[in-house]
Amino acid sequence: MTPVAALVIPSPPMLLPEYVGLADPAAELRHRVTQALREAVDRHAIEHVVVVTGHERAPRHTKGPVGARVARAIVTAAGWDGPVATVVVPFDATPQEVAACARSARSVGMSSARVLLVVAADLSAKRTEKAPGHFDERALAVDTAVLAALENGCAPDVSALDPAVCADLWLTGRAALQVLALLLPQPGSARVLWADLPYGVQLVLATWSA
């Protein structure tokens, strides 16, 4: 399986339906991500969706990775009723583990010619003093580099992300993004659709296509 397209989506817990209350600060973002997924499915005549995401740094529940749950919720909200597979990558995956997860992703979508890769991956969580990981002055440069790589479709720059630095910055999407880089190493087009810093966490919505 080589995906015909990929969508990198933000995966904060606030996007989950169970966090919607009288106030829903994530409503606009949820709509934006859902619409982007719907458009990708229609544009590329998708037959199979493969979700790739990472484990949390320190899981506090048994519900499964938040990224996987967010991606499934978005896929459902977009009206997709076809096959969906999920591949979960350790957030601190070594290059060998990233490669193994890429092989797993390839194998689950082999029966379909037109696969959409949905990569639930967030960038650093240390952009401000009030961020979950507090402030780290290195976070801006790393986030800027990742956003540029996603905008330019530069898979080598994604693959070159340093696991130790990303772990320090709580950039938990690093390994999942590196799986994307292996599965779609030469995208024909790439675009960052949206990026912002809610609560000091760098989130991004981006698309790559073969």
pLDDT of residue 60: 59
Residue 187 reports pLDDT greater than 90: yes
Q: Is the pLDDT of residue 98 over 80?
A: yes
d(CA 73, CA 80): 10
Mean pLDDT for 75-97 is 94
Residues contacting 61, CB < 8 A, separation 6+? none
Q: Which of 15-29, 74-88, 158-172, 190-204 has the lowest mean pLDDT?
A: 15-29
- At 108 the pLDDT is 83
Identify the CA nearest to 109 among candidates 87, 77, 76, 80.
Answer: 87
Task: Write down the pLDDT at residue 24.
Answer: 85
Per-residue pLDDT band for 55 (boundaries 50, 70, 90) equals: confident
Tell me the average pLDDT across 98-121: 89
**pLDDT of res. 110:** 66
Q: What is the pLDDT of residue 52?
A: 97
Which residues, 6 or more positions from 6, have their beta carbon under 8 angstroms from its beta carbon?
116, 117, 118, 119, 180, 183, 184, 187, 207, 208, 209
| Integer Cα distance of 82 and 66 in angstroms | 21
* Residue 109, pLDDT above cutoff 80: no
Q: What is the band of 138 on the pLDDT scale with cuts at 50, 70, 90?
A: very high
pLDDT at 203: 98
| Percent of the chain with pLDDT strictly greater than 90 | 82
In the numeric block, the tokens 């320190």 are attached to 58
Tell me what the pLDDT averaged over the chain comes to.
93
Residue 63 has pLDDT above 90, yes or no: no
Q: For residues 50-77, give the mean pLDDT.
A: 86
Q: Is 79 left (phi over 0), alpha (psi -120 to 50) or beta?
A: left
